[in-house]
Amino acid sequence: MKMNSVITQEAFDKMLSWLDADREQAGKRYEKIRRRLIEIFASRGCREAEDLADETINRVARKSQDVAEGYVGDPAYYFYAVAKNILLEYWKVKPLPEVPPPPVPIPEDEHEREMACLKQCLGHLPEKGRDLIVEYYGEEWQAKIDQRKGLAERMGIAPNALRIRIHRIRAILKQCLEDCLRHTAEL
């Protein structure tokens, strides 16, 4: 991606006057927009978020004298539109991280062994914990979210407290599964 970071003082001043007639307020808006641009780029996995934010500002500064006259609305939105284009350019040069290949299918006998161990470990849990984890993982997509909210409400606890309980039950199940699978592999 070609970065052209040279702008004139005149272009920068015109951009600031486009942001606000008061120079101090314009400086504050500039800083706010720059911080938001950095957040946008960083949240999309760009390692050079600050450089890309500066490139966005530089491009807007070079165009601001042409755009400012006829532009209606908040100038910040123009910055974000330019940032979107810069992000597209960035990903052309630096492609998105490769998606790992799908997991290798588990052989049928291995799957059966894992399921048998899971059933055995679920049987070792207290009934209340077993029912809780089965219900917690019982749905998919939006139904899962709604079901978990309802579960937390019925139990009279916060969603985070529910997640903590599930985490503890999963830790017990994980240890039990590892022990069971290790034991059955030795047979």
How do residues 158-177 score in pLDDT, each as one tens digit? 999 999 999 999 999 999 99
C-alpha to C-alpha distance for 79 and 60, rounded to whole angstroms: 7
Q: Which residues contact 148 (CB under 8 A, 6 or more apart)?
A: 136, 159, 162
Expressed as residue numbers, the domain containing 181 is 108-186
114 in the same domain as 87: no
Please, are residues 120 and 128 in contact by the beta-carbon 8 Å criterion? Answer: no
C-alpha to C-alpha distance for 129 and 172, rounded to whole angstroms: 10
For residue 154, is it within any domain?
yes
| pLDDT, tens digit, 9 for 90 and up, residues 121-151 | 999 999 999 999 999 998 888 888 889 999 9
What are the φ/ψ torsions at residue 138 (nearest 5 degrees)? -80, -15
What CATH number corresponds to the domain at position 123? 1.10.10
C-alpha to C-alpha distance for 176 and 16, rounded to whole angstroms: 63
Domain boundary among 93, 128, 159: 93
What pTM, to 2 d.p., does this model score? 0.50
For residue 81, is it within any domain?
yes
pLDDT of residue 70: 81
69 in the same domain as 138: no
For residue 99, is it within any domain?
no
For residue 86, is it within any domain?
yes
The candidate with the shortest Cα–Cα distance to 90, out of 30, 34, 33, 50, is 50
68 in the same domain as 28: yes
Q: Is 141 exposed, middle or buried (0-12, 13-18, 19+ CB in 10 A)?
A: exposed
The candidate with the shortest Cα–Cα distance to 38, out of 77, 5, 74, 80, is 80
- Count of domains for the chain: 2
pLDDT of residue 95: 65
For residue 140, is it within any domain?
yes
79 in the same domain as 112: no
pLDDT of residue 84: 95
Please, are residues 71 and 81 in contact by the beta-carbon 8 Å criterion? Answer: no
88 in the same domain as 156: no
| pLDDT, tens digit, 9 for 90 and up, residues 68-108 | 888 888 899 999 999 999 999 988 887 655 667 777 777 88
C-alpha to C-alpha distance for 116 and 50, rounded to whole angstroms: 52
